[in-house]
Amino acid sequence: MNARSAWVVLLRHGHSGWNLSDRFTGWTDIRLTAVGLAEAAAAGRRLKEAGFVFDEVHGSVLQRTRQTVETLLAAMATPEVPLYTTWRLNERHYGALQGMNKHEIFATWGEEASRRWWRGYYEPPPPLDRDDPRHPRFDPIYADLDPQTLPASESLRDCQQRTLPYWNDVLVPRLRAGRRLLVVSHGNTLRGLVMHLDGLSAGAMEHVEIPSGVPMVVRFAPDLTVLGREWLEIAATDPSV
């Protein structure tokens, strides 16, 4: 790699517990499965093989990203790399859909509306009631935040709008300073970031997929315009590894 080039590696966390039952996770704090841990370790080995070294990692406050980071850095033999966490890199909040599977959602709200909510850009799912125990204002992780800031539901646009200040105010200055960054986040959060970096339309964004555990390298010109992005392909993982 050219030492003068700017780049960032984006990674979606590994397979988590609710993926097994096809349940919408959102801000629910679910742990990785054995498959997810294996994905994270494989990503770390692949990044090390490709010559990547990180100065710092940025992730969400949810434990599935922390587990991914810890396992990945251990596989790279660099556990000392600091991790910075922020709620702004959390997954999109799915509102009343959180904890439900697609069959239950279709039965409750119908397939057409449901697909608009989870694949479209503008329309959020039905929000959680403010007194619903799933509302993030009851989670001690967010005790230091203004409860009015916490979402009860988000469209992809909403998720993108609360993520981009962290990108612009925290990550971009670090890239300008030459820091080598790994960002470990979630599928929809990274979709919104890719939409921003690539200048995609809302329609084009609907076709963007972010697979779990596969590093995406985004390379920048000196003025931080995007030169291109590439996936570091990884062989199928074995949960027993």
Q: Are 219 and 227 in contact (CB under 8 A)?
A: yes
Catalytic site residue from 13, 15, 93, 135:
13
- Is 13 annotated in the active site? yes
Q: Are 127 and 96 in contact (CB under 8 A)?
A: yes
- Report the alpha-carbon distance of residue 197 to residue 179 in Å, rounded: 18
Question: Strand order in 181-185's β-sheet?
Answer: 83-85, 56-59, 181-185, 6-12, 216-220, 226-231
Catalytic site residue from 39, 91, 93, 154:
91
- Report the alpha-carbon distance of residue 139 to residue 136 in Å, rounded: 5
CA nearest to 196, candidates 156, 233, 155: 156
Interstrand relation of 216-220 and 83-85 (parallel, antiparallel or unpaired): unpaired
- Is 196 annotated in the active site? no
Q: Which residues are annotated as catalytic? A: 13, 91
